C-alpha cells in the first residue's frame, strides 16, 4: 500500500486519482466533481493498494469524508469509502497540456492505468474527467491510454 499526496473522487462509481503540484487545484477540481454528483474517496492523502490486477483507493481513517474548500475550511462531503481506480489525472499549468496527446499511461503498484493531463482551472475540466471515465466505462479508448490500461472498466466498488 502506498500513500499519495492527491485527491480521489468516484465518478460513476470509478475512482479518479487527481495528482499535481501543491496549490495547483486538486481539491478545487475534486469539489467541482463532487458538485456534479461524484463521491469523495479521499482528499489530500490517498491510500492505494493493488490486488488481483486492480487498484483500490481509500482515505486514511482520520481524513475520511473530509475535503478542503478554500474560503470555507475543512468540510464533510458525500463519501465512498473505497473505489477501484480507473483513471489518473495529472494537473498541469495552463498551456502545458497538449490539444491532441499521444497515448499515455501510468504504472501504479505494478498496474497500468490510463492517464490524461488537464489544466484544472478550465471551465470544462470536470466535464473532461467525467467524459473520460464514461468513455472507459463504455469500452472506449482515450487518447491517453495504452496497452492493458485501455481495457473496458466494469464492476465499480460500492
Residue ranges and CATH numbers for the domains of the chain are 2-150 (3.40.50.300)
Q: Using one digit for the tens of pLDDT, what is the confidence trace for 79-129? A: 999 999 999 999 999 877 777 666 678 888 888 899 999 998 899 999 999
Is 26 catalytic? The answer is yes
- What local confidence, expressed as pLDDT, does residue 10 receive? 97
Tell me the whole-structure pTM to 2 decimals. Answer: 0.86
Measured CA to CA, the distance from residue 131 to residue 136 in angstroms comes to 9
Pairing of strands 73-76, 82-91: unpaired
- What local confidence, expressed as pLDDT, does residue 51 receive? 79
Q: Using one digit for the tens of pLDDT, what is the confidence trace for 38-92? A: 999 999 999 999 878 899 999 999 999 998 888 899 999 989 999 999 999 999 9
Catalytic residue among 28, 32, 43, 44: 44
Q: CB neighbours of 37 closer than 8 A, spacing ≥ 6?
A: none
Catalytic residue among 19, 26, 32, 115: 26
B/e letters for 64-82, b = 16+ CB within 10 Å, e = fewer, are ebbbbeeeeeeeebebbeb
Measured CA to CA, the distance from residue 153 to residue 135 in angstroms comes to 10
Is 121 catalytic? The answer is no
C-alpha cell of residue 82: 473505497
Amino acid at each position: 500500500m502506498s500513500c499519495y499526496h492527491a485527491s480521489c473522487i468516484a465518478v460513476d462509481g470509478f475512482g479518479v486519482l487527481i495528482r499535481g503540484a501543491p496549490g495547483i487545484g486538486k481539491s478545487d477540481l475534486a469539489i467541482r466533481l463532487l458538485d456534479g454528483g461524484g463521491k469523495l474517496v479521499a482528499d489530500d492523502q490517498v491510500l492505494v493498494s493493488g490486488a488481483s490486477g486492480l487498484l483500490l483507493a481509500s482515505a486514511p481513517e482520520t481524513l475520511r469524508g473530509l475535503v478542503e474548500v478554500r474560503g470555507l475550511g475543512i468540510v464533510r462531503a458525500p463519501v465512498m469509502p473505497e473505489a477501484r481506480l480507473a483513471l489518473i489525472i495529472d494537473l498541469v499549468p495552463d498551456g502545458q497540456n497538449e490539444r491532441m496527446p499521444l497515448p499515455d499511461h501510468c504504472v501504479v503498484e505494478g498496474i497500468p492505468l490510463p492517464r490524461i493531463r488537464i489544466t484544472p482551472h478550465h471551465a470544462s475540466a470536470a466535464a473532461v474527467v467525467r467524459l473520460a471515465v464514461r468513455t472507459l466505462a463504455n469500452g472506449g479508448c482515450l487518447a491517453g491510454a495504452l496497452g492493458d490500461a485501455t481495457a473496458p472498466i466494469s464492476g465499480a466498488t460500492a
